[in-house]
Structure formats: structure tokens, C-alpha cells
Structure 1
Amino acid sequence: MTDATEGECSMLDGLRDWTDATDPVWQWVVVMIAGAIPFVESYFAGPLGVLAGMLPALAIAAAIVGNIISMVLVVLLSGRVRSATGADERELSPRRERFKQRFDRWGVPGVSLLGQTLLPSQITSGLMVGFGASRRQVIIWQIVSIALWGIGFGLLAVGGVALLEMR
């Protein structure tokens, strides 16, 4: 084995030792909190839990739940801010203008499903509500997107772990 491979194995072993020594409730909480962090979300937190040795279904579910909770909080807060400020006509930055054009073209479903490739769900959902999208529609489509991305990346992690264990 190379030094890099040995380092990866010892890091993975250390992570799994921590998981073995930690109550499953705390494992769930840690992965759920990781899922709530923008740019980590369900698609990285679930695989992290899988790599750590959690049951894949629990790791993926915890990551999805954490991501959904943070996204819903952002949607509700964005809706209140929009209502309180009456912010409809504002000068948009070039980045927001590009996002608005994509939002106008693809709608809530398209931005929710594809937006994860560019921005965290919290940011895309907040922007959509800020542009006037229905909070309910944003929440529903973001939940679908978060679940699909979380399950997809979680299953990739399961396959990756299986390949590592075959070595």
C-alpha cells in the first residue's frame, strides 16, 4: 500500500471506531446537523455517515431530515422578510439576474431539481421565495430534490464502501 492509501484507510478506520463507540442517537444527530449545513447538505452528509459505518438507510435519512429542516426554516424566513419589506422590484446583481432568468425558464421544479448542482438548497429556496414563488411549492419541490440527491449520493457511497472493502 502507498502512504496515501494507508492514510485513507487509517482515517476511515478512525471514523468507524468513533461510530462504533458512539450511541446511534448521537450518530443520527451529527449527520442531521451536517445535512443542515449549506454545501454539505444531504448529498455529502449521507455519504459521510455511510463512510463512518452507520447503517446506510439511517445515514441517508438523517442527512435528508437535517437538510429539509434548514431549507424549510430559510423558506419561512424568506417569506416573512419578503412580506415585511414588500420587496418585489429591486435592482438585481448580475448573478441574481442569471438565477432569475433560469427561475423564469424552469420554474420551481426545474430550479429545485437542478439547482443543487450550483447552489445549496437553502440559497435556491430563499431566492425562489424572494422572487415570489409559493412557499408551499418551493418546500414540496425542494423536499423531492433533497431526497433524490441524498438517496443518489448515499447509494454511490454504499457502492464506494463496498469497493473499498473488496480490496
Structure 2
Amino acid sequence: MNPFETLVQNFRDLVAEVPELVQPFVVMLAGAIPFIEGEGASPIGVVGGIHPVAAGVAAAAGNFLCVLVVVLISSRARAAALAHGHRPSSREERPESKGRQRFRRYLVRFGVPGASMLGPLAIPTQFTAAMLIASGTSRSWVLLWQAIAIVFWTTLTTTLVWGVVSSVVA
């Protein structure tokens, strides 16, 4: 057994200690964590021995549910701020991070669909969704494109990791 197979088998033994019905919920919770998200949680599930479809669906669902909560909270916060007469300023007082600068370029160049699809390359989907809402984009448009992006990236990473694990681990 090569070191990669040993590592995967040890991880699968650890995952096997969790009841089988609970395993997808663990992946779903991991998918809700920024920076792990669906594209990080589904490989965890696949390497852990969960069926790739179950891991992908659970990871994407956890990621989307978290984005949904962020969108609902952000849209209410924006509406309250606008109702109290606060208008977004054209310049922020502190410099933007490189990830936010990259996201802003994506938004200007590609619109909401492009920012949603390319956003995970720069910042977590939860941050992307909040920034889109703050910019005045409608909730439904943000949720639609975030769902498409989450499904795309989660499917891509799930498929790649499943292919690698299947070819390396017998």
C-alpha cells in the first residue's frame, strides 16, 4: 500500500466511526464554512468514502443554505441602512483587500453571472453574495447565480477528486 492509499484508508476508518446516516450532514456542515464551502467539503466526503453524489449534494446544500442566510440578512441590513438615509459611499476609508479588488473587477467586467462564477476563485461565496447584495443586486438574481456557481464548482471538484481517488485507491 502506498502512502496515499494508507492516508485515505486511515481517513475512511475515521469517517466509518460516524454513523452512516450522519456522514452527509457532517459534509453539509463543512460546506457551510467559508473557505471550505462545497468545493472543499465534497472532496472531504469522497475521500472519506461517502458516495460522490451524496457528498456533492450535501456539500452544495450546506454551502447554498449558508449563502441563503447571508443574502437574507444582508438584504435586510441594506434595506434598513437605506431607510435610515445612509447612502453607500463611493470610496471606502480603508484600502480594499486583493480578493475584494479582484471581485470588483469581475463584477464590473462580467456582471453578476461572471462575478458569481469567478468569485470563488477570489473570495468565499458567502462574501460574494453579501457584496452583491450591498451593491444593490436583487436577492433572487444573487441566489440564482450563487446556486449555479455552487453546483458548478462543487460538481467539478467532486468529479476531479472522485477520479483521482478511484484511480489511486483500489
Normalised by the length of structure 2, the TM-score is 0.87
- SS of equivalent to 1:12: helix
Superposition deviation, residue 26 in structure 1 = 1.3
CA distance in 1, matches of 2:103, 2:49: 38
* Alignment-derived partner of residue 40 in structure 1: 36
Counterpart-to-counterpart distance in 2, 1:101 and 1:55: 37
Alignment partners' CA distance in 2, 1:25 and 1:140? 29
Query: Per the alignment, do residues 99 and 157 of structure 1 end up closer, same or farther by CA in structure 2, a change over 3 Å counting?
Result: closer
Letter in structure 1 aligned against 2:141: Q
Gaps of at least 5 residues in structure 2 are none
Counterpart position of 2:55: 59
Counterpart-to-counterpart distance in 2, 1:55 and 1:42: 15
Amino acid at match of 1:19: V
- Deviation of the 1:97 alpha carbon: 5.9
Separation (CA, whole Å) in 2 of partners of 1:99 and 1:64: 21
Deviation, 1:17, is 1.1
Instruction: Tell me the alpha carbon deviations over residues 83-139 of structure 1, each in whole angstroms, 9 at most, x when there is no partner.
Output: 111154223344456643432332110100111111110000100100100111000
Which sits farther off after the overlay, 120-129 or 87-96?
87-96
Structure 1 gap ranges (5+): none
Q: Report the equivalent of 2:158.
A: 154
Instruction: Please report the RMSD computed on the Cα atoms of aligned residues, expressed in angstroms.
Output: 1.8
Pairing 1:102–2:106 present: yes
**138-147 vs 100-109, which deviates more?**
100-109
Q: State which drifts further: 146-155 or 10-19.
A: 10-19
Q: How many residues align?
A: 162
Which stretch of the first structure deviates more once superposed, 154-163 or 10-19?
10-19
Comparing 11-20 with 71-80, greater Cα deviation is found at: 11-20
1:137 correspondence with 2:141: yes
The question of whether the paired residues in 2 share the 8 Å contact of 1:43 and 1:153 is answered with yes
State the secondary structure of the residue aligned to 2:21.
Answer: helix
